[in-house]
Structures are given as C-alpha cells and as structure tokens.
Structure 1
Amino acid sequence: MKKRSSTYGIPFLALATLLLLGMGAKAQVLNKPTPADNPNLAGNSAWTAACASASFNEYFVNFTWNPPLVASNNEFILELSDANGYFSNPVELARVSDKNTTFDFEFQFALPTDIRGENFKFRVRSTYPAKTSPASDAFSMYFIDYNSPLLISENGSGSIPAGGQISLCGGGSVTLKPHNIPNASSYLYNWYRSGTLLAEKSESITVSDPGMYYVELDYGSVCSGSANTLSNTIEITTGTSTGIAITGSSAVQICPGDTQVLQANITGMGYKYTWYKNNTVVSGPTVEGSSYTVNANTAGFEGSYAVEISGTGVCIEKSAPVTVTSAGDFEVTLQNAENIVLLPSQTKTLSVSSTASSPTYQWFKDGAAISGATNNSLVVNTIGEYYVEVTENGGPCSSAPKSSAITTMVSPDSFELVVDFVGTYASCENTDATLSLTTINAVSDNGTKTDVTADLQASFTYQWKWNGTNISGETAKTITVSDQAKNGTYQLSGTVGAFNAVSNNLDLKLASNQNLVITSNGTVYCDGGDAIVLESSIDLSSETFTWKKDGTVVNSSSASLTVGQPGVYQLIITSNDCPIVSNQVTITPFDASLLVLDKSSDLVIIEGETGTITASGADSYEWYDAGNNLISTDNYYGFQTEGQYLLVANFGTCTVSKVITVSYRDMFAIPNVITANGDGINDLWVLPNTYSRDPNVLVTIFNERGEQVFSQAGYENNWPQSTTTFNKQSMIFYYKITRGGKSLKQGTITVIK
C-alpha cells in the first residue's frame, strides 16, 4: 500500500454576511455612419456617390451613438475600407476628440486621390472604450484625376484620320488607342461601338467590325459621365482590297555593302504607306512613301518586310511579306578554339570549317601570316596566338575575308588541380560523398591561369591523399568515401611529363549511420513522485556527449539523466567531429484533471441503498474510509454509509487524492412557514438531515431589517427558542445556509403566531 504524505479534512466555516445584488452597466452602442448633406452647397440632400476631383473634394457623413458616456480622452475615428468593402487595412479619413458628449454629429472628410471603386464602406471606431461600429452601405467612390476629353487614333499614333474614318479590307483589323493621356495603362476604360458598351477595359482595342467607336475613362457607374472624358469618334468601315504588294521576287539576296529598294505596286494616289520588318514598324505612315531601302551595311538588316496602305477611298491593307537575306554571308568555325597547353616536344593540330562555297585559307601566328599555311588545318609546335582568315571565292558577291576565333598556345610554368564535391554535400549530414577533379589550370610564370581540363585531363596520372597520406588504389580523378572513420582532409595530386601538381584541400565530415535512441521510465513529471530517468541505447562510457533540455545543454557527464523539470529532452554524441542526434522525449507536467469520476465527489444516497462511484484515467486506485483504512483497490466503490472517504489515484510516479463526501438524501424540503403558537405542532423550523447537526454547516437567520437574530453551526432544529418573542401576528425572516463559506441554500421563513 502506498503511504500518503498528508491527512485530509474539511475546514470550519467562517461567519457569513448578507449579500446585496447590484444592477449591471449598459455598454455604448456605435451606429453605422450614413452620408450627410454638405452644408456648404445649395440644397439639402445627402450624397449617394463620391466623385471627387482637385476642384471639389468635401464630403460629410452622419454618425450617432448611444450612452453611457465614453472616456474624456476618447477619440472617434472615421475609417474607409478597400474597394471590395474589407477593413483589413483601413484608411483613416477623419478623427475628432471633442464629440465625447455629442451623440449625433457629422464627420467632414476629403477623398484620397488613389480611390477608385464601386464598393467602398465606412465605419467609426472609438478609442476609449475600444469599439467599432457596423460598416455602412457600399458606395461608388472615385477621385477623378483626369477629366479632359480623350483623343483616340490608330495605335495611339496621334494621327486622327481625315473625317474620322478608317476603311478596312475584309478580314483586316485596326488597333485604336488614346494618345493624349499620361499613365494611360493605370486606368480602366469604357469602349463603345455605335452606343453599345463593349467588354474591353484596357487602354487599346483591336477592331474589325464596322461601327462608330469611342471611349471614356471608367470612373464607375455614377462618376464616369460627370468626368467629361468622352473621346472623339472613329468610324470603321469595310472596303474592297486594292491588291497592295511589293514588286519583284518574294525572296531577295543582298551582297555585303549593297542596298535594295523595296517598291509598292500602287503609287501616285496620295495614300499613306507604313513599312514593317518582322511585323514591327520601321517607317511611316508616310504620304506617298511607297518605297523602302534596305541597307546591307546595317547590322541585322535581314528579315521579313511588308507594306501597309491606307487613305481616303481605300481600306487598310497589308501586303504579303518579302524575305531579305545576305548573299555573301558565310560562317567560320575554328575547331579546338579553347586555349591549348603545349608541352615540350608536343605538337597540336588546329583545323577550321566554313560554310563558304569556295573558300581559301590563310593562318596567322601572333598577328603575322604564316608562310605556306593555306590549308584548312595547321600543325603547331610553338606557343603563340593562332587564327585563320577565310575568303569566299564563289557565289554572286565578292566579300572581305572573315577571321576565326583566336586560340592561344601556352607553355605552362606549373599546373593547378581543383577538386570539389560531386552533387549536394553538407558537412555532418551526408553518410557518403564523392570528390572529383573539376578543373586543370595551366599557370604561367606571371600567374595567369588557363583552363586546360579538356585537353590534358586524360594525360595526367593521379593519386588521392587523406590527411597527407596516399590512399592505396585511389588513382582515378574521382573518389567516393562512405566510412565516417575516414573523415578528414582530402587532396588530389597529379603528374604529367615533368610537372607535378596538387589540388586544393577538401575537408570531409560524414554523418554516422548509428541509430541513437533514448528511453525513459515515464513521461509525466510531478513534484514528490518517483524520479524519471533517461537512458541511451549506446554505451556512453567512451563517448563525448551532451544531454539537452529544450535545446540547452543540461549535462555532459552522466550516462543517464534524471529529469528535474518538464521539457523536451535529447542526447547528442560527437563522433568523428559530427553529431549523432537521438530522438526527442517529451516530459509533460502532471495534470490532475486526468482523474475522472463518473459522479460528483459529493454523493447523496438513500439510506439503506448503495451509491457507486467509478474512477478512470489512472494506472491504479486506492479507496480509504474516514479512519484511513484501505477498503478497496478497484477502480470503483459502492458506498452505503454517510461519511467522508478518500480516493488515491496513481499515475506512474504521480498521485492524485480526491475526497468523497457521502450523505443521505432527505425526504422533505426546507419549510418556509412555521406556527410558533406553542401547540407542539410546527412550532420549530426543522431542516433536513443534509443541513442539520453538521458542525461544518452554518445556519444564519436575519430579521426583515437585515439584522442577524440567530446563528448556529451544527443546527439542532431549535429555532425559534422559547425565549424568542414576536411582536406581530405574521413576521418574515431570511435564512442562509453555508458550508465552508459556500452558500448552500437561502430563502424566507414566515412565522405565524
């Protein structure tokens, strides 16, 4: 049997006082704001939409609230939602501090200049107390920062067609766009065709259907009309094709240095011509600009050219394209164009390829032509800078020679190897790693480095070193390490001819593949309970380790850890400079609410019957009677006798004690009328056994003036006493029954003489 550390009992009650009831205070109510009349304007009507501008920006809203009064330092703040009616980031419009005794007043505000939308709402917020009114209805609100008529033209060019008319050929289209508004893309637009509102809202519109087109800025359902931005009208009509084309072949070649004139097949009619290259305008629209000159001396002149015709009496029409290319162009490609290391007594072969139809070659070294070097390849045995010139000797054009890229032949003073990890590597996270040669640099006597990896990596012989010592058998460019015991510094050395080279150092730290697990004999901590001990699955006698609680080191010397507080515990072992991290063990504080009873601890039974209480949530249970005698170890107990009992529930190393009070149920209620006339019937105020003769229950009686006339602990059912006098035929008294200061019953007693 577990020994209990303390006894238990029920304290005596203190003298009770009469309680008076109070009336609760009423809270302030902030009503939703509503639009109000502007007293500075003629008329008397509230606004229904806000169409502000630089010349007018004055609005009022009415706000009412209900008492009680707010604090003297309170402020009322008028706030505006976003365009969707949300107050996640409200805009303050106005605040007042002199309306704390005014229950009906107006806010004056100006609309911010960036406001555009159909669903703005208001609300009012007070600071002391902190309250917020309901949101207002939604309103269309716009600041009109541009209020002049728009001007539209083709592609926003600024050239409005004569008579405002553009004629399109069947299947053609034209783009209309305003050309006189700054920051045009920052607005929404209302486009119309013959009075019908179109769906497009962007600054430009591409049309092909006949009709009268015009536009205005979209300032919402109310403000758009008053903004005065309605544009000019452009009439789109359809007409018959003129058959515009570029004369000559659809494919033209130009020799280097030459020009080519492209000519439209329709001229002398006063029409406008716009020339395109690869669908981008390169000239026009120009009246009678029916020709365009392509210059082969201009870089990037090659492309697809077309001409578009427009003007009075013709529809807008674009020609079929003409492709212009260079006739004398060819490519020169030098093989092995990268820098090449030339070792003593070595030779290297350079070669060139070309797209010229009939090429001739001339090789150069250090800028000077090499006598007799006129083939497409060259054998080199000395250092220097080499390139080749290729001349085209066939085709329709004569052209200047083209030079290849330059290849530098170098004789190194030394070599440098560069090694790195292959793939993703993180120190103390990988369990294996691959190290490899990435670069071979030839280093000149002045320190200049030349990457010669592709040329020489197969010529070197290699040797890997670990902590300065050769690793047997590791003579490839790559090495893979998977043993944590081989953590350390790795380096690659290489030899070619008389040259010996070494790489940079790589520090390798592999994580251990050991599985570290910590266990505990419990996970619930309580003061006075048995100790909770954490232990490791690995013998720590020869290890370097730390115990951590909530990430902080708490012990670095004990092979096991005795828990002193709730928290998250973990063990870390340092192995070959890398940590081995255990699982986490969470120790939680004990919670007495884990013990659950299916009935109240104040159990009322009928005398002669059994009342059973069942407990749950604990590991084991012990029931004791008032004499501290163990009466059961089950999770339930059947009570038959009045008294006090103790339940001790065990949760691992923790215990919870619960006092059970058993009393008999009374078969009658507390009387509220007695007849103190001395006839022996109903002369005394008799209480049920629940409240009478219990030394822990205090009975107090007050007269109708609230004066105490009787008080007794362990009431003996003896009031009124024979010495009590009553000066009226019928008198009312008040009673209060308490246990331990807690009210059990209260009411009135009417005494009739």
Structure 2
Amino acid sequence: MLTPTNLNKFILSLCLLISTFQEQAKAQVVLGTPNLGFTQACASDSFNTYSLSFVFSPESALESSNQFSIEMSDPDGDFSDSTIIYTSQLGEFTTSPATLEFSMPETTAGENYRLRVKSSAPASNSSGSTNFAAYFKLQDSPFTINNLVSTGAYCTGGSYLLTIDNPGNGNNDSPLNYPSLTFNWFRETSPTTSEFIAEGPTLSVSTEGTYFVETNYGTCTSNSFSNRVTITEASSGEADATIASSLGNPYCPEQGNTTLSTIGGISYQWYKNGEIIPDATEQQLQTNESGSFSVQVDLGDCSASGTIELVSELFNSEINVDEVNSIEDGESITVIVTTDALAPEFQWYFQNQLISSETSDTIEASSFGDYKVVITETSGCNSSKAYEFTIEEALDPFPDVEKLPNVISPNGDGINDTWVIPQKYVSGTNTDVMIMDNRGVVVFQTTDYQNNWPQTNLNLTSINKVFYYIITTENDETKKGSITVVK
C-alpha cells in the first residue's frame, strides 16, 4: 500500500517520464518518400536541372541548423555506396512540403537509380524513391568510325576491324576522349531496324552487313552515333576499296590539305594519275591537288583497290591590267576582273584604304598610286583572291628640251636614262640620227628617233664610255658632238 510520501514520489517519477517521452517525440521528424519531378534524367552540359518534393512532420521538430540533403544510390538502386548530390542551406526549409532542385553528376550512367532525402537536425532518412534511368551525356554529337570510309572488306575466313576514330578528320568529336563512356555496336537488319552485336570501342567483323556504333546512354535518346560502314567478304578476286576525302569532293584547298582515307588492310600503295606516289604507303594520304587518286590495299589472302576523281573548287579569275600601268594626267583606265566564283564579292582599295563605294567587278581608276582588288567567293569554298596593280603618270617621250645633252646615265632610276633631244630632231621630223663609238663604228642610226637610245645594256665598267653623234635634218643642217655614258 502506497503511503502519501511514496505516492508523491510515484507521481513525480511519472511526470518526469512523460516529459522525457514528449521531448523525445519532439526531437523526431518523419520524412516522406520523395516524389520525383521526372521519369528519367538525360542530363548534359546544356540541361542539368531536376527536382523532387517530399513532406515531413512535425515541422516543429526541425532545428534551426537543419540541412536537407539528397542521397543518390548506385546504378542498381543500392544506397550502401551512395553519393550526396545536394545539400540545402542551414534552416533553409521549415515548412512542409518542400521542393529541392539538383543536378546529376557527370559520372551518372545507369537504369535503376534511386534518391532519398536526409535531414541533419534531427537526423532522419526517407525511404528510397522509385527507380529511374539517368545518364550524363558527356558527348552528344555524331562521330566517325573507319576514318569515315563507308565500306570495308575482309578475305574469306578473315575479319575486318571497325574502330571509333580518335581524333579522326575535320571537327570529329571523338567519344574516346571521355574515358567513362561505353559503346554499343549494331548491324542493320532493315533500313529502319538494327540488332545489337557487342560492346566496346572496336568491333571485329566476320559477317557481311552494315554496321554502326552508339554511345551507351541506355534509354536516353542521343545524337552520339557514328556513320554507317558496309562490310563485304572478298571471296574471290579483288574487292572494292572506297576512298573518302575529309574535306569532301569537290573540296576547298583554302582549308588546307584534304585527307584521303581507304579501308583498313595490312599494307597500302597510293597512285596519282596512274603513277606511283613514293612513300605513300599508309591508310591515309594528304594532298591539296586535283587528279585521279587510286590505292591498292593488301588484305592478306586477297586485295582491294579503289579510285577517286578528286576535284578542287578553287575558283578562276583574271584582271585586264598589268602590274604597272601608265596614263596621262586627266586620263583614266577601266579595270575589270572576271571570275567564275560563286556569289562573288569585290572590295577595291587605293593606297591600302577601302573604297567603300566600289563593290562591282569594274572600277574607273584615274588617280596615280597603288590599287588592290579582293575577290571573295561567298558560297561554296568561301575563299578569296587578291590582285595588286599600280597606276603611274606616263612619261612624255618627247619633252621640249632646249639643248642636245652630252651626258646620260642609263642605270634604270628613271632619270636621264636615255639620250633625250629637242623635238625638232625626233620622230616625225625625218631627221637622221647617227651614233658612233670611239672607233667610229656606227652603233645606232634612224630617221625616226624615239628618244630611246641606248636600247640595250652597254656593259658599262668603272670607266665612262664616250660616243659621238651626227644629226642631219631634212634640209641638211648638221649637229655634231659627244655623249658621255656614266654608270
């Protein structure tokens, strides 16, 4: 029987126990199973934002320092080696329900991931979400195999090795640059269907068919797939060896060399226009020329050959003036360029300054100086050609000089290079002009003098040469004298 004292002690103990239970209950929070805002996650650099929502109770149980985090399972849905992919700020979420946004790690690749939510204060875990497929598409563009050669051949009893190009030609984004990626090879069964063959970066083929490979992103759609390659068996004779040009055919030489590639084999020999190309014994050949290129491929027990008529798309053009052109002051010259460039554009320059008003294939030039025209093909190759030319003032071949000069210096500097005499003795006056050397040998004589002597190199040495002239007019007037030729 309880005494009053014992009864008081019992009541006190019961109150303490109830208070403890209340505190413990207050310190617990229940997290509901996450509700995913997606059915599968196909992440990439251009899109990687996902969300989930969950409920928790009671709200009052959360401490001010609480943080919610998202835990991601392994690809099989197991949380024993999980990854935290999101953590909220301290006390960021205080009311239920809550929605969290997060991103997928770049290593994500699998069909059965799960997510769960954790709280830190107090510590609690939700149940795992439903399973979902998730991949981070590190590479999501078409890529090349077999050096972009569309065919391959193997000898009877042999095989042909298909490989993903790394780096490949042109702007090929090889998925081999991303070590975490895996690959699935397929063979076409119809124009719209195919069958899975094997995994890996290469495929050894011993069955005829058309093959291609895709980066393994599971049920996620992707643009990470290769070109098709048709493989045949060379049962007898010589197989066909397709040749591919990395810059296409026709190709633009302004982009640099194009790379010719053929099917894989044991050894190779390339030819141009039927002539062997020395040292061209690799699977690929670089060239910037046009012509008929062919190759012989040793496949082991059989061989293959192929030919490509390679064509350059470099456009043709011409200009109707010389590099140096002379006109009189006040005159002009019509400059015309002709070209077969596609959609050409023309830019004209004078003294290295663009003439913005001149955009056609013709210009009327009247100023003395240096000119340039740039022709640009804006369709096709998108290449350019430039022509430079100069317009200078024409020298008067018959200036009005007063006296017969007795010294000239034919050194090509444009000053006193020829013997220029008064107009009354030059062309049109029927005056006989005779020049002799110091031995009396006539070296020049004409009745139609053009102010152009000496017309040839006089082989001058360090000693000046002296010549003598006799000028006889139509009415028999005579002028005599000497001409000293200096270097």
Instruction: Tell me, yes or no, whether TM beats 0.5.
Output: no
Q: Which has the higher strand share?
A: 1
Q: Which has the higher helix share?
A: 2
TM-score bucket of the superposed structures, by smaller chain: 0.3 to 0.5
Higher relative CO (Cα under 8 Å, sequence separation at least 6) belongs to: 2
**How does the TM-score come out when normalised to structure 2?**
0.44
User: Greater CA radius of gyration, 1 or 2?
Assistant: 1
**How does the TM-score come out when normalised to structure 1?**
0.29
